Structure formats: C-alpha cells, structure tokens
A and B are shown apart, each in its own frame.
Chain A
Amino acid sequence: MYVNSVFIDDTFAEAFPMRAARIVVTAVNARWAREAALKLTGFATSVIACKCEAAIERELESHETPDARPGISVLLFAMDTEGLGKRLVERIGQTVITCPTTSCFDGLPGAEQRLTPGKLLRVFGDGFQGSKVVGNDRFWRVPVMDGECLLQESFGVAKGVGGGNFIILGADSRSTLAAAEASVAAIANMEGVILPFPGGIARSGSKVGSRRYKGLAASTNDAFCPTLRPLTASSLPDDVDSVLEIVLDGLDEESIRRAMRAGIAAACLPGIRAITAGNYGGKLGPHHFPLRSILDEKAEAGARP
C-alpha cells in the first residue's frame, strides 16, 4: 500500500494496557496554566525510566473548565493504579501547588475507579486546610502564599493504552523531521491521546534489553539506526538515512487509532520512503494497530512511481 507515494508497511503497532488520569489545571490566564502543565508533564517520556508518561492533551477554553478559567488538560499514564497514584501525588504536589494562581481538577469524572491525591496533598496545609463539597465532589483548599490552591480530592482512573506508535523512514533528517512535525501537528489537541516524547517525537527508538549489557532494560533499536546499517541486521531500505518515531498513549484504542490515522496521513510527504511500526510479534501487549487497516479510508492504493 502507498499513500502519496509513501510505502505503508504491512505490519502493526503493538501497545499495552496502562492506567491513566486526566488532570485539568486552570490558572488566572493561559500562560500560567501552561507553565504548570509543562512542569507537570516534565520528565515523563517513558515508563522505562520516568515511571510514567505524560503530556498536554489540549488547551481548554474557560467554558470547558470547572472554574471558568483558562486551562490545560494533561493525560498521565502509569503501568498500574498504585504507580499512577504515586505519580499524581508527586507531580501535582510539586508542580501545580507550587505554581501561582493554579487550581487542579479531575478530568475523568465518570470513571468508577478513583484515586485520592488531593486527600493526601491536603496535609501540606498543616492543619489549616479546609474542604468544600461542590456538586458531588470534594475540593481541598490549601493555604499558600498567594491565597489558596484548590485541589480536587479524587481523580478518575481509566484503563488506557500505552505504546501506540508509527515509525517514519525518510531519505534525510530534514525531510523526516518535517514529516514528524506534520504528524504531531495533525494529532495535537486531539481528545484522549498524547505524544509523551519531546515535541511529540522520539529519535531514540529502543528494543527490549541489550545485546551487550546485562540488566539494561532497553537499548538502541540498532535495526533502525542508519549509521549501523553494515554492522547489524538492519531493517532499513538503502534509500533511508533518517528515522523518527511517534509514540502515542491514549485513553482507549479508538483514540490511538484516530490519531495514528491522522498522523500517518500527515507524514506522507516528499522525502519520506516508508511508514512502519514497532511490535514484538504480539507478545508485548494485547492492543494491535495494523497500519494498513487503520489507513484504509485514507489510502490511495497504487504502484510506486
């Protein structure tokens, strides 16, 4: 299959179950909501070393937030519910409470499973904290030096999907980066999905374990490194000299499928030779995303010119 003369590999992306929370941060203006969200999602590219994956989902207009202020929606993923709870406490405590004018709300009100980071973080108030129930939800008022930080007590937990991906194979680094940027732009602000790597793009795709170093959880994906073409069992065609990967985490399979469809279509630009995906033969996780069937609606099947 080809899309805009770009070969779409007959393979699938393999993803695994994660636990997810949606955090809504509001502030006096969009700038300060974003400042908090950027810190909240810092150092959260991969669970391999960061213990969680997080990124900004989208900006929220004031009519979309509980307190009618500008806000940012963040998705945070961890491997299990316990880990998710710890990350919420650490990150909200250190990045939202500390940020001027912010308040922090749950973005998954319908979720049955709940974590209570607000209940734990309230003790920062050293006994001066107070709570309010608005609607069916409890909020903690933690006194801080610019007034009060308002934290929702409980946050919903969703059964999310982590590790969705597609890999862009390009003729050179410039065109490959441009295609990846186009993918990120196409996916940006889509509901229910995030791209946790810097700017939404990963260059250091990894394989499980290491050929040389015992105990290493992950090491470079040598099969996709152009500089190693003659030194390893390379997966790269001769005319590919640069590879970038888009990794996606979503609240459900459909969110990832929708984002992959848009992202892959946007990446099929001049200079791109092929799009493929990372999988482990179906052994890593139960969520499989076949590239060609995802693209079915968008594909322009035909012979390569």
Chain B
Amino acid sequence: MSDRVTLTLRAPLQESIEADAIVPSAFATLGEAEIGALPVWAGRARRVLGDYFQVSGGRSTTVRIVGDVRRAHGIATGMAAGDLVVDGDAGARFAFEMSGGRADVLGSAGDDAGVAMSGGSLHVRGDAGDRVGAGLAGASRGMTGGEIVVGGSVGAHAGARMRRGLLFVGGNAGELAARAIIAGTVIVIGRVGPEPAFANKRGSLIVAGGVDVPATYRHACDYEPPHVRLALTYLARRYDISLGAGLVDGTYRRYCGDASTVARGEILEWIRE
C-alpha cells in the first residue's frame, strides 16, 4: 500500500483512448502491476494502462495523473470515493456518473464533464466543454447531487436537466445554460448565452455578468437572496475562490419562471453591490 498512485504519461497521446479504468475508488485494492494491466481502448484495439502510463504506487484511492490527457476520455467514470488530481487538461466525459470523492483538473476538461453526477466534488480550474453537469442524452435527469466548480467558461447546455446539486462557473456559459433544470443551482459569474434556464421548473440560475431574461420569466423584486450569499460563501471557502464582496453582499433581481412549465424556478440577476 502506498500514499498515492501516480500515473505518468509515457509520451504525448497520438490517438484518443477510452480510459474509464482510471477510477481512484477502484485502485484501493489493486497493486501497481494490476493497475498497469487495466484495459484501455484505442478505437477497437484493447490495450492496457501500462502501455500509456508509467504506474507508481498501488492500493490507494489518492491518484495523480501527470501529463496532457485531453485525449483520454472517461477518466473517473463512476468515481465513488478518493481523490484524483489531473495535472493538466482532461478529455471528454471526465467524472461521468461520479457519486463521491474529489476530482480536481488543474487544466481544462472536455465535453460532458460531470454528466449524470450524483455526488462528490469536481473542480475544473480551467474551462469545460458542452453539457457540463448535464444528463445522458435522452435521460430525464441530469446531475442529481454533488458540486461542480469550473474556474473558467463552459459550453452549451451547462447543468441541463439538473435535479439537485450545485454548478459554479467562474467565466461565461454558452447557450441553453440550465436548460430544463428540475431543481438545483447554477451560478455563472460571467455572462450566459441565449435561452437561459429554458423550461426551468424549480431550479435557480444565478448570473452576475449579464443575462437576457426570456419573456417567459416575470420580474418579482430586487433583493439580497440569503441562499446566494450562503452558496457563494461556501464556495469561496471550500474552493478558495476569490469572489468580490459585491457579489456576496449584492442585490439581485429575481425573475420567476419558466412560465412554460410550473414556473417555480428563478433567474437571479446580479444588479449592484
């Protein structure tokens, strides 16, 4: 047993690989050789983890990946416990169906990060692609728990169909952010793209950098929402995010909607300190 397992990329990836075997919770009972023998798919070819990574350590749920793995997809699929740090960019479907533990990407993540997440904490220091924290195609629910914190910007459909959980975006969000959210909270410090919180049932979309509020939302009031203060304070403390006091203490304009559904959701637009 070692303190941690370190996977060091042997050479830059020349092809995309399916690396869904890299799951910290699964490494708890595996030695160094066993981890190196885990399957990795390169197209239709079955290879092993050791072909791409030098493995050091074993029987630990603390894992560090060193190297640019933006072409390695599905890392941390079904992660239920442990700590994972990616020392660079990560590929698509990172932390897919994650249910526990902490995953930290020091660079950016591809599309579908945190899709179908139900628990745990995913922190992407850079940007994330489309559908972060959303659901599988055709699924009735997206994220059902846990936290996703993206330091940069995200693509389209961020947090789509979220049922529960917290998605924080430090930059901008693309079109259809918080689409059809059932509940939960999406916070965007930058600007959100067209058609935000479309078909929102009971969820909250909180935007600090500008939002074109759809006509299906109705203005309620300008106030200082205590749950926004609580959530921002929590995020700032837990993830060491620097948020201006004006956001935490600020006044937000509340719009109720989406009138195309049950209209119990809200868009909160930051308007002043």
Output the least CB separation between B165 and chain A (Å).
7
Q: Is B46 an interface residue (CB 8 A)?
A: no
Q: Is A66 an interface residue (CB 8 A)?
A: yes
Stretch among B73-81, B148-156, B210-218, B224-232 lining the A interface: B224-232
Cβ of A141: which chain B residues have Cβ within 8 Å of it? 225-227
Interface residues of B in 178-227 (CB under 8 A from A): 184-185, 202, 204, 221, 223-227
21 contacts between A and B (CB under 8 A): A66-B230, A66-B233, A66-B234, A67-B233, A68-B229, A69-B229, A103-B230, A130-B264, A132-B204, A132-B231, A133-B145, A133-B164, A133-B184, A134-B230, A135-B234, A139-B227, A141-B225, A147-B221, A147-B224, A148-B223, A148-B225
Cβ of B230: which chain A residues have Cβ within 8 Å of it? 66-67, 103, 132, 134, 139, 150
Question: What string of 1s and 0s marks CB contacts (under 8 Å) between A130-157 and chain B?
Answer: 1011110001010000011110000000
Please determine whether B226 and A150 come into contact, CB atoms closer than 8 angstroms: yes
Cβ of A68: which chain B residues have Cβ within 8 Å of it? 229, 233, 248
Cβ of B225: which chain A residues have Cβ within 8 Å of it? 141, 147-148
Question: What string of 1s and 0s marks CB contacts (under 8 Å) between B253-273 and chain A?
Answer: 000000000001000000000
Output the nearest chain B residue to A127 by Cβ-Cβ distance.
B264
Q: Is B44 an interface residue (CB 8 A)?
A: no
Q: Give the residue of B166, B226, B231 whose beta carbon is less than 8 angstroms from that of A103.
A: B226
Output the least CB separation between A230 and chain B (Å).
61
* Interface range for A: 10 to 19
Please determine whether B238 and A148 come into contact, CB atoms closer than 8 angstroms: no
Residue picked from B145, B225, B233, most chain A C-beta under 10 Å:
B233
Interface residues of A in 53-92 (CB under 8 A from B): 66-69
With contact pairs A130-B264, A133-B164, A134-B166 given, residues A148 and B227 touching in the complex (Cβ less than 8 Å): yes
Q: How far is the CA of A103 from the CA of B248 in the complex (A)?
A: 15
Q: Give the residue of B185, B223, B248 whose beta carbon is less than 8 angstroms from that of A132.
A: B185
Output the nearest chain A residue to B265 by Cβ-Cβ distance.
A130
Q: How far is the CA of A148 from the CA of B229 in the complex (A)?
A: 12
Cβ of A149: which chain B residues have Cβ within 8 Å of it? 226
Please determine whether A67 and B264 come into contact, CB atoms closer than 8 angstroms: no
Cβ of B184: which chain A residues have Cβ within 8 Å of it? 133
Cβ of B145: which chain A residues have Cβ within 8 Å of it? 133
Q: How far is the CA of A86 from the CA of B87 in the complex (A)?
A: 51
Q: How far is the CA of A66 from the CA of B223 in the complex (A)?
A: 19
Q: Give the residue of A67, A130, A139 whose beta carbon is less than 8 angstroms from that of B202.
A: A130
Please determine whether A147 and B166 come into contact, CB atoms closer than 8 angstroms: no
10 nearest CB pairs, A to B: A150-B226, A147-B223, A68-B233, A67-B230, A132-B227, A67-B229, A103-B226, A134-B234, A134-B231, A67-B233
Output the nearest chain B residue to A63 by Cβ-Cβ distance.
B237
Please determine whether B166 and A133 come into contact, CB atoms closer than 8 angstroms: yes
Interface residues of B in 3-19 (CB under 8 A from A): none
Output the least CB separation between B218 and chain A (Å).
15
Output the nearest chain A residue to B235 by Cβ-Cβ distance.
A134
Cβ of B238: which chain A residues have Cβ within 8 Å of it? 135
Q: How far is the CA of A141 from the CA of B230 in the complex (A)?
A: 12
Please determine whether A67 and B226 come into contact, CB atoms closer than 8 angstroms: yes
Interface residues of B in 140-161 (CB under 8 A from A): 145
Q: How far is the CA of A103 from the CA of B231 in the complex (A)?
A: 13
Q: How far is the CA of A84 from the CA of B223 in the complex (A)?
A: 34
Question: What string of 1s and 0s marks CB contacts (under 8 Å) between B233-253 and chain A?
Answer: 110001000000000100000
Output the least CB separation between A274 and chain B (Å).
49
Output the least CB separation between B158 and chain A (Å).
18
Please determine whether A150 and B227 come into contact, CB atoms closer than 8 angstroms: yes
Output the least CB separation between A150 and chain B (Å).
4
Q: A69-B229, A147-B221, A147-B225 are in contact. List 4 more A-B contacts (CB 8 A).
A: A130-B264, A132-B231, A147-B226, A150-B230
With contact pairs A66-B234, A67-B233, A132-B204 given, residues A148 and B226 touching in the complex (Cβ less than 8 Å): yes
Cβ of B185: which chain A residues have Cβ within 8 Å of it? 132
Q: How far is the CA of A139 from the CA of B234 in the complex (A)?
A: 13
Interface residues of A in 90-138 (CB under 8 A from B): 103, 130, 132-135
Output the least CB separation between B69 and chain A (Å).
29
Output the nearest chain B residue to A149 by Cβ-Cβ distance.
B226
Q: How far is the CA of A139 from the CA of B204 in the complex (A)?
A: 14
Residue picked from B145, B164, B204, B230, most chain A C-beta under 10 Å:
B230
